Amino acid sequence: MKDFSELIAHAKSCPAPTEIEKGEIVGGFAHNQVMALADKVIDAVKTGAIKRFFVMAGCDGRMKSREYYANFAKALPQDTVILTAGCAKYQYNKLNLGDIGGIPRVLDAGQCNDSYSLAVIALKLKEVFGLDDINQLPISYNIAWYEQKAVIVLLALLYLGVKNIHLGPTLPGFLSPNVVKVLADNFGIDGISNVEDDLKMFLA
């Protein structure tokens, strides 16, 4: 058994932690809550108040390259809404991105497992608008990749037929050139480049 008494005694002699920041973050936008506001969301899409949704779910990390997602969120037009889940949201959920007619521009469904809610929302919108293909929705996928457990979320999206998903800041390390080619050819999976060029590509 290890003796941590010296370490504990030292910790007790240190000053108490001080508050770094404070504020409020609005969350809880899983599919049930969004569906409760479905009429408002659908009306905003039909009137053009919301032009596009961006799924920016996924993982966060400490590398400076991951600041791309905060910068991307800042650069998005005011008529766009971010759908998020997982720790990727910590790059931008404190930004003052405002709302569209009372609908927050960041709809946070929760943690990684709650990515399910984003799929349910997309499928419900497909049904409401009477579309044959989920890819006809005004939804773009700019997903942050980090941990390998996220592969199950990616596979679920592919199973649903979602195409043109962009992953960053780098592609998963386990993807061999042959697998990348299959995913690119069949599902349009690609990486990211920089905020300016990617925005032009997504909004084209």
In the prediction, which pLDDT does 173 show? 79
Cα 179 to Cα 149, 171, 173, 175: the distances in Å are 18, 12, 11, 6
Run of H or E residues at 143? strand 139-144
pLDDT at 149 over 80: no
In the prediction, which pLDDT does 146 show? 85
Q: Is residue 7 domain-resident?
A: no
Q: What is the pLDDT of residues 33-53, one digit of tens each?
A: 888 888 898 899 999 999 999
Q: Is residue 179 domain-resident?
A: yes
pLDDT at 147 over 80: no
Cα–Cα distance between 61 and 68 in angstroms, integer?
12
DSSP lists the bridge partners of residue 143 as 167
Q: What is the pLDDT of residues 161-178, one digit of tens each?
A: 999 999 999 888 788 899
pLDDT at 109 over 80: yes
Query: What percent of the chain lies above the pLDDT cut of 90?
Result: 65
Q: Is residue 49 domain-resident?
A: yes
Range of the domain at 188: 25-203
Number of domain units in the chain: 1
Q: Is residue 186 domain-resident?
A: yes
For position 149, which CATH number holds? Answer: 3.40.50.2030
pLDDT at 148 over 80: no
Q: Judging by beta carbons within 10 Å of its beta carbon (0-12, 13-18, 19+), is residue 125 exposed, middle or buried?
A: buried
Cα–Cα distance between 57 and 79 in angstroms, integer?
19
Q: Is residue 184 domain-resident?
A: yes
Q: Model-level pTM greater than 0.85?
A: yes
Strand, helix or coil at 102?
A: coil
Cα–Cα distance between 10 and 75 in angstroms, integer?
46
Cα–Cα distance between 35 and 194 in angstroms, integer?
33
Q: Quick one: average pLDDT of 12-35?
A: 87
Q: Quick one: average pLDDT of 61-82?
A: 95
pLDDT at 56 over 80: yes
The Cα angle at residue 47 between residues 43 and 52, in degrees rounded to 5: 85
Q: Is residue 17 domain-resident?
A: no
Q: Quick one: average pLDDT of 120-125?
A: 90
Q: Are strands 103-104 and 99-100 parallel, antiparallel or unpaired?
A: antiparallel
Q: What is the pLDDT of residues 181-192, one digit of tens each?
A: 999 999 999 999
Q: Is residue 13 domain-resident?
A: no
Q: Is residue 97 domain-resident?
A: yes
